[in-house]
Structures are given as C-alpha cells and as structure tokens.
Amino acid sequence: MFVSSHLFFLLAIMIFFSFYFVSYLVGIAHCSAVHHQLSLDFYSKSCPQLDQLVSSVTSRRFRDFPVSGPATIRLFFHDCFVEVRKDVGDNKSLAPEGFEAVDEVKALVETKCPAVVSCADILAIAARDFVHLAGGPYYQVKKGRRDSKVSLASKVKLNLPRANSTIDELLRLFTSKGLSLADLVALSGAHTIGFSHCDQFLGRLYNYKGTKKPDPFIDPRLLKALQMSCPHFGGNTDIVAPFDVQTPFLFDHMYYGNLEANMGLLASDQALFLDNRTRPLVQAFGKDKAKFFEAFSLGMEKMGAIRIKRGKKGEVRRVCSKHNKSG
C-alpha cells in the first residue's frame, strides 16, 4: 500500500530537504563506452585498510542518516553517466547526506592514506556498502580510477536518463555507455530504495503526454495518493514520494512487482513493464531476487568501469568537491 500519511511525508521532507544544494563531486568517475583495466588489489600496498575505512563511515551513516544510502547510490549512477555535473537540477534534488558521506569517508582515508585514494573509488565502494546495508547484494569493487581535471556541465542533459525517458531513449543512452538491455533493467532496480520529488512525475498525474488526463497506466490508488501529496499547481517543491511504494527503505526486488501492478513512480520506470523488449526481464527479476541481485552486481561493475581516468589523465583530489588546481 502506498504510504501517504502526513507524518511520513513530513519526515521525508525533513530528510530530503536539499533545496539549497549546489555543485559538488563533479565528474569524479567519468563515463562513455571506453573501458579500462581496474583491479581488486589496486590499493593492497598503498592503502590496504581502504574497504574497512569506508565501511566504518557508511555503516554509521546508514544507521544515523538512512537517506545517505539512496543518495550515494544515485550519485554513483550520475557520476558514471556524466563526466561532470555542475549545479544542475539533478544534483540539487539529491539529499546532501550522500555528498556528506563521501566527504566524511574521504577525510578519514586522507588521515591514513594521504593523496592515494581517488574520490571516484571512494564513491564506488560507498555505493556498494549502502546497497548491502539496505539488504542488497555485496559485490567486489574493482579500483584504480582517478578523478577528473575538467568540468563539462553541458554534457549533463544528454547523458542522464530522464524521468519520462522512453525505452528507445534509455536503450540508446545505455548502449552508448557499453551497457546492455539487461543492464538497463537490472540497474533500474536501484529504484527499489529512495524517493523522487513531485516535479519528476507530475505530468503523469494530470497531463500525461498532453492529454490533460492522468497516465492510464498508473494504479488508481497510487494516483489518488500521489495527487493528494503533489497538487497540480502550488505544491511544496520539497515533497517526495518513494520509488518503491511497498518497501521504500529495503533493497529487494519489490520494485519489479510494483511495475507489474502499474505502481511504478516514474514514467521511465513503468515503461520497463509496458515495453515488450524489457517486460520479460521485469517479470524474471520480480520472481527471483537472487537473479536480480546477480544482474545488478554485474551491471554495477560494468558501469563503474566506464571511461575511467588513469595516470596523468586524472588526479587524486584532496577534496572531492574541488579540482586540485583550485586549491
């Protein structure tokens, strides 16, 4: 059942109040269809305790600030699809706790292994930790990325999935990054946790594709609950709704069952079930959590290896929000 109580949304607003958000962690992982060699033991000599250091922060932040999980995972997705994201709406809608988590890890790592571990690797490890802490799979993270030296905010819109993207658009984007149809469906399962602001799905509620009517492929109960929280005009811009209306804080495979019941939050989510090309995988993952976890882990590994920087082409930032040249 959709969670629609005033208390839930009050808490959600408080947690997700990120309207003041500005540019941050721009371009630390780098992505296109160019792949480079990474390794599990990259820091075995230079920072052997890295995973433990990251875990000490992520486990505590997950306990104290649960929203750090979905925010950090989403940040990893953005970082792997765009070389640089600078002060854009997609970043402003992220909870600050995700960025704070990476900052805190970086500060701790610098005390033990100064100028050795990139922010890109820290983000990849932290995202994995939060997936696992929320109930998802624990997968090995290959390392060896370096951080970007450039800022290319103009690439953002063309390199991120949109809330209303069609399957054709999503497949073109994922294919351009060297990812498959199976990766698209599996990685979309990250929406099993986290929330979205009303402006990302408002069109589905009131004016679907210019019809001035709601999206016909949305469960009536969900539609009513969303309309109560997200009015057509004049609503609170900080209101959010869960991607997974059944288990919003648990990393499981319920997301896919929701799509089969027409309870996907975003148009791009629901499209996965409506399209004949992706529907079989939605159904398969909805039936078999282990199969979803395996496919998701593989997709995260592939995504984390997209156009990484090595050697002099990148840097190890001292502070994740700033290029070294800026001090």
Q: Is 51 annotated as a binding residue?
A: no
Q: Is 82 annotated as a binding residue?
A: yes
Options 30, 78, 132, 253, the catalytic residue: 78
Q: Is 192 annotated as a binding residue?
A: yes
Q: Is 103 annotated as a binding residue?
A: no
Q: Is 87 annotated as a binding residue?
A: no
List own/partner pairs for 6-13 with CB under 8 A and 24 or more apart. Answer: 9/229, 9/239, 9/240, 12/195, 12/239, 12/240, 12/241, 13/236, 13/238, 13/239, 13/240
Instruction: Give me the DSSP letters along 190-228.
Output: GGGS-EEEGGGTHHHHH-GGGSSS--TTS-HHHHHHHHH
Task: Quote the CA–CA distance of 248 and 190 in Å, as a whole number.
Answer: 11
Q: Is 191 annotated as a binding residue?
A: yes
Task: Quote the CA–CA distance of 133 and 321 in Å, as a whole number.
Answer: 25
Phi and psi angles of residue 283, each rounded to the nearest 5 degrees, phi first: -70, -40
Q: Is 66 annotated as a binding residue?
A: no
Task: Quote the CA–CA distance of 128 and 126 in Å, as a whole number.
Answer: 5
Specify burial of residue 3 (Cβ count, 10 A radius: 0-12, 13-18, 19+).
middle
Task: Quote the CA–CA distance of 38 and 58 in Å, as a whole number.
Answer: 23
Q: Which residue from 100, 37, 23 is spatially nearest to 301, judged by alpha carbons?
A: 37
Q: Does the annotation mark 132 as catalytic?
A: no
Specify burial of residue 192 (Cβ count, 10 A radius: 0-12, 13-18, 19+).
buried
Binding region for substrate: 161
Catalytic residues: 78
Binding region for Ca(2+): 79, 82, 192, 244, 247, 252
Binding region: 79, 82, 161, 191-192, 244, 247, 252
Binding region for heme b: 191
